[in-house]
């Protein structure tokens, strides 16, 4: 589906064009075309390929989706794959999508697949800064990448919150299977975000350093900015992973501590009951000659001894932390 297709000159939108009119629109040298597609079918992609002379392999990638983030260079043009992400708060799940960008000296084509926000906002923002948009397709590439990367910040924030909630659970009193499951799921989410973001380090690096015709020198510092954000997201994710590993170990440690406590409680109470049971057993024996049994104070004395022993044990166990 064609979401948007416009021609720009000198940083300003000069015309809305249809796919068919692109050739016409590009006749004027100072113009470039910015097309936004959403899950296009093969036919539409074919038209676009024809219009700009895109490489077969890149088109195939854009059609199939499920690529990893990458930057590829075909003659004078760039093909960029980005993974987009959105927090699905209802189901506590991250939805991932994919965006493919074809950037040539006089065109930008964005192809969205799966979960992602519309890039209409990016277009509006770019159009409000004509002096920057005037730098051409390279700046549009920056604006789109910046938009995609910035949308990872709320996600890593949510993952940080989740870790904090887990810490509270681990170091709180409740010890549940649920904690372990959530640690595992957080680990899985982190790995997926990592996979989506970490290849961008290399992509940005190449955009900053390599001699790419479509990125004018003046646009480079902007990619350094994206690079910085990618590095930061990466760092936060690595940090969370390392903390999560420690949290898992702390969890295991505390489960053992708790088991220790249960064991000691078990031992303590067992001893506390065993003593009077044993004494009672002794005076339940049927020997003919057991003088204590005959004595009128035998019963209260034995009861006293039992209570005393239990009390003494209870005090001892309490003091040494077994009960």
Alpha-carbon distance of 240 to 175, in angstroms, equals 22
- Pick the binder of a second copy from 125, 264, 309, 314 (CB under 8 A): 264
Binding positions for a second copy, 191-250, rule CB under 8 A: 191, 195, 221-222, 224-225, 228, 231-232, 235, 239, 242-243, 246-250
Choose between 46 and 276: whose C-beta lies nearer to a second copy: 276
Choose between 38 and 70: whose C-beta lies nearer to a second copy: 70
Candidates 281, 276, 260; CA nearest to 309 is 276
289 contacts a second copy (rule: CB under 8 A): yes
- Pick the binder of a second copy from 165, 257, 305, 307 (CB under 8 A): 257
> What's the closest the beta carbon of residue 27 comes to a second copy, in angstroms?
29
Beta bridge partners of 9: 12, 31
- Pick the binder of a second copy from 216, 277, 304, 308 (CB under 8 A): 277
Beta bridge partners of 12: 9
Alpha-carbon distance of 289 to 168, in angstroms, equals 64
259 contacts a second copy (rule: CB under 8 A): yes
42 contacts a second copy (rule: CB under 8 A): no
Tokens of 194: 């990592």
Stretch that binds a second copy, among 12-20, 23-31, 112-120, 176-184 (CB under 8 A): 176-184
167 contacts a second copy (rule: CB under 8 A): yes
- Pick the binder of a second copy from 20, 43, 176, 319 (CB under 8 A): 176
Binding positions for a second copy, 93-132, rule CB under 8 A: none
DSSP conformational letter for 191: H
Beta bridge partners of 79: 72, 102
Question: What is the Cα 229 distance to its own chain's centre?
Answer: 15
Stretch that binds a second copy, among 6-14, 44-52, 154-162, 175-183 (CB under 8 A): 175-183
Binding positions for a second copy, 65-84, rule CB under 8 A: 67-68, 70, 72, 74
> What's the closest the beta carbon of residue 123 comes to a second copy, in angstroms?
21
> What's the closest the beta carbon of residue 3 comes to a second copy, in angstroms?
27
Assign 3-class secondary structure to 159-213. Answer: HHHHHHHHHHHHHCCCCCHHHHHHHHHHHHHHHHHHHHHCHHHHHHHHHHHCCCC
Alpha-carbon distance of 197 to 69, in angstroms, equals 8
Candidates 160, 30, 180, 46; CA nearest to 111 is 46
> What's the closest the beta carbon of residue 116 comes to a second copy, in angstroms?
20
Question: What is the Cα 22 distance to its own chain's centre?
Answer: 40
Alpha-carbon distance of 29 to 53, in angstroms, equals 17
Q: Phi/psi of residue 299, each to 5°?
A: -60, -55
Alpha-carbon distance of 197 to 142, in angstroms, equals 16
146 contacts a second copy (rule: CB under 8 A): no
92 contacts a second copy (rule: CB under 8 A): no
> What's the closest the beta carbon of residue 225 comes to a second copy, in angstroms?
5
- Pick the binder of a second copy from 27, 90, 91, 177 (CB under 8 A): 177
Q: Phi/psi of residue 14, each to 5°?
A: -105, -25
Q: Phi/psi of residue 163, each to 5°?
A: -65, -40
Choose between 48 and 190: whose C-beta lies nearer to a second copy: 190
């Amino acid at each position: 589906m064609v979401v948007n297709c416009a021609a720009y000159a000198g940083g300003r939108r000069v015309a809305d064009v249809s796919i068919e009119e692109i050739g016409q629109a590009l006749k004027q040298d100072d113009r470039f075309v910015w097309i936004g597609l959403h899950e296009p079918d093969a036919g539409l992609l074919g038209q676009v390929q024809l219009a700009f002379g895109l490489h077969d392999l890149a088109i195939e990638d854009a059609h199939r989706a499920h690529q990893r983030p990458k930057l590829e260079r075909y003659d004078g043009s760039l093909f960029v794959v980005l993974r987009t992400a959105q927090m699905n708060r209802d189901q506590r799940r991250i939805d991932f999508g994919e965006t493919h960008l074809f950037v040539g000296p006089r065109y930008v084509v964005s192809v969205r697949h799966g979960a992602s926000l519309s890039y209409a906002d990016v277009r509006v923002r770019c159009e409000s800064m004509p002096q920057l948009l005037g730098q051409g397709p390279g700046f549009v590439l920056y604006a789109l990448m910046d938009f995609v990367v910035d949308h990872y910040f709320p996600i890593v924030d949510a993952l940080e919150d989740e870790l904090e909630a887990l810490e509270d659970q681990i170091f709180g009193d409740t010890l549940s299977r649920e904690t372990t499951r959530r640690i595992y799921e957080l680990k899985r989410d982190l790995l997926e975000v990592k996979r989506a973001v970490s290849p961008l380090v290399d992509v940005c690096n190449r955009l900053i350093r390599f001699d790419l015709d479509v990125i004018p020198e003046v646009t480079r510092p902007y990619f350094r900015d994206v690079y910085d954000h990618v590095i930061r997201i990466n760092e936060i994710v690595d940090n969370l992973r390392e903390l999560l590993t420690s949290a898992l170990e702390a969890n295991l440690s505390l489960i053992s501590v708790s088991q220790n406590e249960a064991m000691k409680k078990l031992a303590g109470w067992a001893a506390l009951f065993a003593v009077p049971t044993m004494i009672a057993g002794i005076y339940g024996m049927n020997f003919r000659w057991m003088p204590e049994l005959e004595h009128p104070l035998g019963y209260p004395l034995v009861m006293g001894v039992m209570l005393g022993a239990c009390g003494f044990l209870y005090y001892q166990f309490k003091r040494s932390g077994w009960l």
